[in-house]
Structure 1
Amino acid sequence: MSLTIQWLTLGAMIMSGIGMGILFDGYRVLSSEFKFPRWTLSCLDIAYWIASAILVFRMLYVSNYGEVRAYVFIGLAVGAILYYWLFSSFTTTLTKWLIQAIKWLLSGIIRMFQLLIVKPLLFLWMVVLYILNLGTKFTIGIGKIMLQLVRPILKLVLWMLSPITKPLLRWLEPYGKSGMERLKQLWLAAAKRLPSWLRRK
């Protein structure tokens, strides 16, 4: 293996060490900000090491076709040390800022959704309910007025039909005098009480 490839591999491993540091700090900040349950931390640790291994072996394969040498581990160590010395605090701060910015953006989207969609729909629903209630009251009022207007007409019709109804009642009287009388009384009582019952509504 030529010296150029060796130096290229060393540089790739240093970059891989820096990348592993970035992944670790990002993972650490995310787990702290979102308060993951403890039982998930082991799974997240495994996922981190799998991602790191894929990154390292990919870089190693590109640089020297996957040959492992001592300087590979030296490069990883140097990259990790350089990262934690120079970039760790910056990465942590940037990650926290990005998380807060995403939270703020999501909160703004939710507020806009409530303001532009949820509240207008609720207002429209209240208007519909008010109109339906008003229509019901209007219909009941019209019904009461119609009953008041129709009542004299019913009395007139009954008076006009009395030459027919009275003989008919007298003819039916032997078959059920007490039952017919009670039915007549109930009918008259209901007719008298109907307007007062409607006014209470």
Structure 2
Amino acid sequence: MTQIQSVLALVAASWILGAVFDIYNTVTGSSRWLRWLRPALDIAFWVAAAGLVCFVMFTTDDGRLRIYTFLLLAAGYLLYRVWFHVRVVRSAFRVVRAIRAVFLGVSRLVYRVVVWPVLAVLGLAARLLHAVYRVLCWVEDGLFVLLSFWLKVIGFLFRGWAAPSRSMRKKIDDRMEGFWTLASNWIRRVSNRT
């Protein structure tokens, strides 16, 4: 290759490196998730930059690395800073803002279409289950009040008709206690399943 092509290739490589660095710096600086990856990304950037410079040197100047190579890279970078730096950074910020706006729009859409309805259904189901539980507790309390009332009525009638002996009363009390123990155990088993 001719010397002019070599010079133009080195200047173009320095412009590319400057633009990539500005874009990379803008994107990683504006994202809090990428900030903790910055050291690894810095290493990757400089390895890629060295690879690009070596590739340009091997294709344009047979791999000879001279002082004028670094001077041309520096001059190309300075020209990039003067002519294109502000435009590239502004464009990168616009792209970052556009991507952020798209991301926020999509996340709001997903929230409104998927997450909010699911949360609303779960909240409604929780309220419904709570209401059913309260009604069942009320029914249970009512049943126990009625059962207690009827047991007192039956006991009153039983006492009034005949005076049972102590052994008969003991048998009835034992059976009633056994009945309540069975009922209590059954209620515990049913409540432990749910």
**Who is 1:6 aligned against?**
3
CA apart distance, 1:139 = 1.8
C-alpha distance in 1, partners of 2:29/2:89?
Answer: 11
C-alpha distance in 1, partners of 2:44/2:168?
Answer: 100
CA apart distance, 1:42 = 7.5
Q: Which runs of 5+ in 1 are unaligned?
A: 173-182, 188-201
- Give the aligned length: 170
Q: How does 1:56-95 map to 2 (within 5 A)?
A: 56-69=53-66, 71-95=68-92
Q: Which runs of 5+ in 2 are unaligned?
A: 178-194
**Who is 1:168 aligned against?**
166
Aligned Cα root-mean-square deviation (Å): 3.9
SS in 1 for 2:164: helix
Q: Would you say the 8 A contact 1:29–1:92 is kept in 2?
A: yes
Amino acid at match of 2:123: M
- Tell me which moved more, 5-14 or 40-49: 40-49
Q: How does 1:100-179 map to 2 (within 5 A)?
A: 100-147=97-144, 150=147, 153-155=150-152, 157-158=154-155, 159-160=157-158, 166-168=164-166
C-alpha distance in 2, partners of 1:167/1:22?
Answer: 106
C-alpha distance in 2, partners of 1:109/1:171?
Answer: 76
TM-score, scaled relative to structure 1 = 0.63
C-alpha distance in 1, partners of 2:91/2:57?
Answer: 29
- Tell me which moved more, 44-53 or 21-30: 44-53
SS in 2 for 1:66: coil
TM-score, scaled relative to structure 2 = 0.65
Amino acid at match of 2:16: G
CA apart distance, 1:163 = 6.4
